[in-house]
Amino acid sequence: MPKIEYSYLVGQRVNIERAIELRDDARYANHMDPDFRCPKCDGGVRPHKASRKEPARYPAHFEHNGTRQQLLAQPSVAQLGKYAEIR
């Protein structure tokens, strides 16, 4: 599966490092995890930290929520034209 390098949160582009900070802050405050969205399919994604084992096998990354079949059934954001690039 392709690597997701960023996600969207309330229409704002968020990189993986910031997403992990926001998730950890929400958990520390006993709030729900933020609703990060995939830039390609608009499906829910969750940030994961890099693996701790040396050498690190997995860098920090996003993973989709749900099953592959659920993801394939959704139209892509490109088809919907939902997000514009935020600079």
34-54 pLDDT, tens per residue?
999 999 888 899 998 887 777
Average pLDDT over residues 9-13: 92
Q: How many CB atoms lie within 10 A of CB 70?
A: 13
pLDDT on residue 85: 46
CA–chain centroid gap for 60, Å, is 11
pLDDT on residue 50: 82
pTM of the model: 0.66
CA–CA dist 87, 83 (Å, integer): 12
